């Protein structure tokens, strides 16, 4: 009977209760080293610079070590690279994964999206980065480790539109495995109300615009069907 069992797990590097590194953070640090820039790494991961910088600062706070080193331009140019502590942290993580005898559990990524309606118009952002670069989409993004989805959607909308919001209602959960070309993502979608801020673009989104509900542009991902669900629900 035991031969039928297998161990599946999510890899996390922790010290006590402090979360140091997982697959997402590992990828970000590797891309910083590869691109020589936090901005470049953030773009490759389709996240804002502010989001990427915040993750790095949380790693540094958890480890009490400097993880990245930035150099100003000169004859050899400037840029950002991993410190020796950063490289050692990555090596420790990879070595511990190799020592683990179970399978690495593949899991969907968790995302959030927010629908904002004003005067019978829907707020959309034009995507700066792949996939669907140049196409309009509902504002949203990935949930950070340790973050509530309700906080994540408010944060993502603030980063991408400059607006402060509060949640009105849950629109739905969208989990079709092929909905995102980057991999399996599950999106929790909310409707929200604007409470403050000024409409402006973010580092991974061009200036947002309101579109008439009857004249929406071509949309990225499955956002057309998400908005249709929202409109049907709001008309009840």
Task: Please count the other Cβ atoms lying within 10 Å of the Cβ belonging to residue 194.
Answer: 16
If residue 135 lies in a helix (H) or strand (E), which one and from where to where?
A: none
Same structural domain for residues 144 and 185? yes
Res. 102: pLDDT tops 60: no
Q: What is the mean pLDDT of residues 27-34?
A: 92
Res. 143: pLDDT tops 90: yes
Last residue within a domain, chosen from 104, 119, 150: 104
Q: What is the mean pLDDT of residues 104-133?
A: 89
Same structural domain for residues 197 and 138? yes
Res. 218: pLDDT tops 80: yes
Q: Which domain holds residue 27?
A: 2-104
- Residue 74 has a pLDDT of 46
Res. 96: pLDDT tops 50: yes
Q: Sort residue 159 into left (φ over 0), alpha (ψ -120 to 50) or beta.
A: alpha
Last residue within a domain, chosen from 45, 77, 104: 104
Same structural domain for residues 96 and 129? no
Q: Which residue has the higher pLDDT, 128 or 165?
A: 165
Find the CATH number of the domain harbouring 141: 3.90.79.10
Q: Give Cβ neighbours of residue 203 (< 8 Å, ≥ 6 apart).
A: 39, 42, 48, 49, 50, 128, 159
Q: How confident is the model at residue 17 (pLDDT cuts 50, 70, 90)?
A: confident
Same structural domain for residues 159 and 42? no
**Structural domains of the chain, count:** 2
User: How many whole angstroms separate alpha carbon 28 and alpha carbon 22?
Assistant: 10
Res. 152: pLDDT tops 90: yes
- Residue 46 has a pLDDT of 87
Last residue within a domain, chosen from 75, 104, 133: 104
β-pairing, 8-9 vs 103-104, is parallel
Q: How confident is the model at residue 229 (pLDDT cuts 50, 70, 90)?
A: very high
Res. 214: pLDDT tops 50: yes
User: How many whole angstroms separate alpha carbon 25 and alpha carbon 143?
Assistant: 13
Share of the chain above pLDDT 70, in %: 86
CA distances from 103 to 5, 9, 10, 64, 217 (A): 12, 7, 9, 31, 43
Predicted confidence (pLDDT) per residue in 31-84, tens digit: 999 999 999 999 998 889 999 999 999 999 988 899 999 876 544 446 889 999
Q: Please tell me whether the overall predicted TM-score, pTM, comes out greater than 0.85 for this model.
A: no
- Residue 175 has a pLDDT of 96
Q: Which residue has the higher pLDDT, 77 or 11?
A: 11
183: phi then psi, degrees, rounded to nearest 5:
145, 180
Q: 205: closest CA among 132, 154, 146, 144? A: 132
Same structural domain for residues 225 and 130? yes
- Residue 139 has a pLDDT of 96
Same structural domain for residues 42 and 116? no
Same structural domain for residues 75 and 160? no
Res. 160: pLDDT tops 90: yes
């Amino acid at each position: 009977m035991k031969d039928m069992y297998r161990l599946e797990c999510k890899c996390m590097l922790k010290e006590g209760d402090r979360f140091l590194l997982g697959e997402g953070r590992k990828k970000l640090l590797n891309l910083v080293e590869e691109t020589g820039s936090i901005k470049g790494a953030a773009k490759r991961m389709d996240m804002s610079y502010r989001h990427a910088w915040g993750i790095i600062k949380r790693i540094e706070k958890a480890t009490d070590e400097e993880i990245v080193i930035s150099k100003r331009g000169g004859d050899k140019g400037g840029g950002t690279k991993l410190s020796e502590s950063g490289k050692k942290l990555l090596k420790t993580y990879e070595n511990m994964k190799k020592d683990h005898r179970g399978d690495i559990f593949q899991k969907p990524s968790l995302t959030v999206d927010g629908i904002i309606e004003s005067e019978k118009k829907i707020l959309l952002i034009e995507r700066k980065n792949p996939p669907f670069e140049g196409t309009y989409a509902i504002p949203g993004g990935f949930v950070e480790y340790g973050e509530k989805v309700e906080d994540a959607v408010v944060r993502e909308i603030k980063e991408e539109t400059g607006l402060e919001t509060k949640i009105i209602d849950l629109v739905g959960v969208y989990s079709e495995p092929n909905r995102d070309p980057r991999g399996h993502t599950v999106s929790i979608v909310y409707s929200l109300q604007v409470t403050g801020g000024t409409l402006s673009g973010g580092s991974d989104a061009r200036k947002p615009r309101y579109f008439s509900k009857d004249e929406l542009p071509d949309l990225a991902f499955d956002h057309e069907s998400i908005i249709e669900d929202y409109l049907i629900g709001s008309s009840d």
